[in-house]
Chain A
Amino acid sequence: MAIDPQPEAGLPAGGPVSAFPPAPEGVSAADHGPWYLAYKRFIRNRMAVGFLVLFVLIVLFVLAAPLWADHVAHTGPNQSHTLEKLHVNGEVREVVTPEGRPIGPQWFEAGGKFFLGADSRLGRDEMVRLMYGGRTSLFIGVVSGLITTLVAVILGLLAGYYRGWVDAIIARILDVLWSLPVLLFGIALGVSLAVGGLQLGPIEIEGGSIWIPIFVISVFTVPYVARPIRGEVLALGEKEFVEAAVAQGAGPVRVMFGEILPNLASTIIVFFTLNIANNMLFEAALSFLGAGVQPPNSSWGTMISVGEELLTTEPLLAIIPGVMILLTVLSLNIVGDGLRDALDPRSKVRLEAHAGMVEPEGSSV
């Protein structure tokens, strides 16, 4: 009896409660929620935080458009100044030369007027158009991102939760959309709608409205978000906490929105961010090809298209909006990647701009 094993001896006295990991003093329990942990991880990612700041600066820049237009440039985005002359340092400069060449960047020499020069033989202020165009581009990106995400989440939830024929119908519709050559079809749809407008039940959009590109972009990007969400809902639907809710008497709506949706939040946020970037590129492409934002309104895509005519003499006119698109999309992509790493370190969900989707694990169930 020299060695009498007493397994209980190693256990802390007082039962299971004392075995609980001690809570750090002075820290409220709410600070340890999944959102707080994700925030902590995101803050540690310097690159993502840096590009988030850049994105916020871009948003502030475009939001300041009316201020700049009214108080610095004293003109509107669509106002033509073809025959006007600028008095700079005693010399007189024509906004558009008789040969049709627009004035170059004046920086602050003309008191902020034509800061980046004029845009074409129409002699519109490039800087003002850049700011208002950014508003349009970002607005289209964000609003179509919202629509896409909303539609995709609802379709994904329905398909993943009900399975069976509901899933079959939704999946086939998404497959059809997916199989279309997106840009080509988008151009065709964009051009025809831009001329004739759209009448679809209660939805009525005039031709030339920016809601046309928003509609076109939303329709075509839904599958890229709905498919992975459906996959995730399929996986979540198997979890026992869903059965527990059903065992309590919860109906489909409460299970879908009360139990499953909160677990999709991180995926939705990441996809929404990446989707905005994707949509802005799509908008730029459509607008550049004349199927997106219609003249005289500006967007960064249309500005590249206008600037392209003068690419040899005034390359900045195309380069500047191009750089703006690049910076915005880049910052959104890096912020999206950072959010994904922070919200779900295990997830492998990736949204590649128009190259197609790499499906997350488990979505092909």
Chain B
Amino acid sequence: MTDENLLEVTDLVKHFPIKQGILIDREVDQVRAVDGISFYVERGSTLGLVGESGSGKSTACRAVMQLTKPTSGSIKFEGREIAGLSRRKMQPLRREMQMIFQDPYASLNPRKRVGQIVADPLKQQGVARGSDLRKRVQELLERVGLSSEHYNRFPHEFSGGQRQRIGIARALALQPKLVIADEPVSALDVSIQAQIINLLDDLQDELGLTYLFVAHDIGVVRHISDRIAVMHNGKIVEEGTADQVCEHPRDDYTKKLLAAVPIPDPRESRARRAA
């Protein structure tokens, strides 16, 4: 319970019921998407959450963001319990934590102009309006490497990497303390991935952001994270500093994840396979 930790998650559980029935649904079983995980994110640092598809990473993010109601467990943001808060009580906290989404094609409303998309959080929270709003949105667009002239364009006119930049601008609009990035690069080309990761890195240095960074590629996570937590089947199997986890993995699953990272040098790659 130190003040250092911006986010503390304890024994977080999210089960999805499997329902069956003709008229009245009966619960027949549960999917244990997140099955009692605990982690913390220090202020100004990055926690990388890795794991294969279906390991519960995204569900954990959505629970922290209160986009889905956790079955049980505690989520503390700046020492305040937020699990189960009503929408109204959650409202001011939305300014402090924002999310970058996985799919740059589904996360931007195709009927809205880019300026509107980035302005929405500011309007929703009543932070800015009028010409001030427009100015701030244009600054944000420039900050993430787009042009302020893109203000009046529609999302379909942008490439995947550019769309993800719009998503980042939207997440940063409210100047949050915590940014949850749910696989922000897994839908992008490798060359674009590096650009987006570097952008996130720069923004963290500049704005003192705290990241909860989710990915299935431990190589990507290692680059950006201070600490890494490895998730498997809804549980955290290993946690530690990035170097510790990557250099001296203790869990078999972590070793498998590390072995899956491609090595650019074929000779080294062959040597690893032989070992």
- Interface presence of A200 (CB below 8 A): no
A248 and B120 form a contact (CB under 8 A): yes
- Interface presence of A177 (CB below 8 A): no
- In this complex, what residue of B is CB-closest to A259? B109
Please report which residues of chain B, range 110-128, place their CB below 8 angstroms from some CB of chain A when the two chains form the complex. 110-113, 120-121, 124-125
Proximity string of chain B (85-108) to chain A, C-beta cutoff 8 Å, 1 when within and 0 when not:
001001100100011011100111
A16 and B162 form a contact (CB under 8 A): yes
B111 and A265 form a contact (CB under 8 A): yes
A7 and B109 form a contact (CB under 8 A): no
A34 and B62 form a contact (CB under 8 A): no
Whole-angstrom distance between the Cβ of B29 and the nearest chain A Cβ: 19
Contact residue among A17, A248, A262 (Cβ-Cβ distance under 8 Å from B146): A17
Q: A49 to B108, alpha carbons, bound, how many Å?
A: 32
Specify which chain A residues have a CB less than 8 angstroms from the CB of B214 in the assembled complex.
none
**B-contacting 9-mer, from A75-83, A125-133, A154-162, A237-245:** A237-245
A247 and B109 form a contact (CB under 8 A): no
Specify which chain A residues have a CB less than 8 angstroms from the CB of B62 in the assembled complex.
243
**A-contacting 9-mer, from B36-44, B153-161, B243-251:** B153-161
Whole-angstrom distance between the Cβ of B226 and the nearest chain A Cβ: 24
* Known contacts A240-B101, A245-B120, A262 near B147 by CB under 8 Å: no
Specify which chain A residues have a CB less than 8 angstroms from the CB of B106 in the assembled complex.
239-241
Contact residue among B101, B147, B174, B191 (Cβ-Cβ distance under 8 Å from A244): B101
**B-contacting 9-mer, from A25-33, A290-298, A314-322:** A25-33
Q: A32 to B113, alpha carbons, bound, how many Å?
A: 11
Question: Most A CB atoms within 10 A — which of B91, B111, B170, B192?
Answer: B111
Contact residue among B101, B150, B195 (Cβ-Cβ distance under 8 Å from A243): B101
Specify which chain A residues have a CB less than 8 angstroms from the CB of B99 in the assembled complex.
243-244, 247
Whole-angstrom distance between the Cβ of B244 and the nearest chain A Cβ: 30
B154 and A15 form a contact (CB under 8 A): no
- In this complex, what residue of A is CB-closest to B157? A32
- Interface presence of A21 (CB below 8 A): yes
Specify which chain A residues have a CB less than 8 angstroms from the CB of B150 in the assembled complex.
20
Q: With contacts defined as CB atoms under 8 Å apart, how many contacts are there between chain A and chain B in the complex?
A: 94
Please report which residues of chain A, range 262-290, place their CB below 8 angstroms from some CB of chain B when the two chains form the complex. 262-263, 265
Specify which chain B residues have a CB less than 8 angstroms from the CB of A20 in the assembled complex.
146-147, 150, 158-159, 162
Question: Most A CB atoms within 10 A — which of B99, B149, B161, B167?
Answer: B99
- Interface presence of B240 (CB below 8 A): no
Please report which residues of chain A, range 8-62, place their CB below 8 angstroms from some CB of chain B when the two chains form the complex. 11, 15-17, 19-21, 23, 28-30, 32-34
B67 and A29 form a contact (CB under 8 A): no
Specify which chain B residues have a CB less than 8 angstroms from the CB of A19 in the assembled complex.
159, 161
* Known contacts A19-B159, A240-B106, A246 near B67 by CB under 8 Å: yes
Q: A251 to B88, alpha carbons, bound, how many Å?
A: 9
A29 and B109 form a contact (CB under 8 A): no
B111 and A262 form a contact (CB under 8 A): yes
Q: A245 to B161, alpha carbons, bound, how many Å?
A: 21
Q: Is the interface of A mostly helix, strand, loop or mixed?
A: helix
A241 and B107 form a contact (CB under 8 A): yes
A240 and B107 form a contact (CB under 8 A): yes
A247 and B145 form a contact (CB under 8 A): no
- Interface presence of B152 (CB below 8 A): yes
Contact residue among A15, A23, A28, A247 (Cβ-Cβ distance under 8 Å from B94): A247
Specify which chain B residues have a CB less than 8 angstroms from the CB of A23 in the assembled complex.
149
- Interface presence of A249 (CB below 8 A): yes
Q: A250 to B91, alpha carbons, bound, how many Å?
A: 9
- In this complex, what residue of B is CB-closest to A36? B154
Q: A301 to B191, alpha carbons, bound, how many Å?
A: 66
A249 and B125 form a contact (CB under 8 A): yes
Specify which chain A residues have a CB less than 8 angstroms from the CB of B87 in the assembled complex.
249, 251
A248 and B67 form a contact (CB under 8 A): no
Whole-angstrom distance between the Cβ of B122 and the nearest chain A Cβ: 9
* Known contacts A240-B101, A243-B67, A249-B90, A16 near B125 by CB under 8 Å: no
A262 and B109 form a contact (CB under 8 A): yes
Contact residue among B67, B103, B154 (Cβ-Cβ distance under 8 Å from A32): B154
Q: A240 to B183, alpha carbons, bound, how many Å?
A: 13
Specify which chain B residues have a CB less than 8 angstroms from the CB of A259 in the assembled complex.
109
- In this complex, what residue of B is CB-closest to A29? B152
- Interface presence of B75 (CB below 8 A): no
- Interface presence of B216 (CB below 8 A): no
Q: A239 to B159, alpha carbons, bound, how many Å?
A: 18
Q: A252 to B192, alpha carbons, bound, how many Å?
A: 35
* Known contacts A21-B157, A34-B110, A249-B94, A244 near B195 by CB under 8 Å: no
Q: A149 to B101, alpha carbons, bound, how many Å?
A: 33
21 contacts between A and B (CB under 8 A): A16-B192, A17-B147, A19-B161, A28-B152, A29-B151, A33-B113, A34-B154, A239-B107, A240-B101, A241-B106, A243-B67, A243-B101, A244-B107, A244-B170, A245-B120, A247-B65, A248-B121, A249-B90, A249-B91, A249-B124, A250-B124
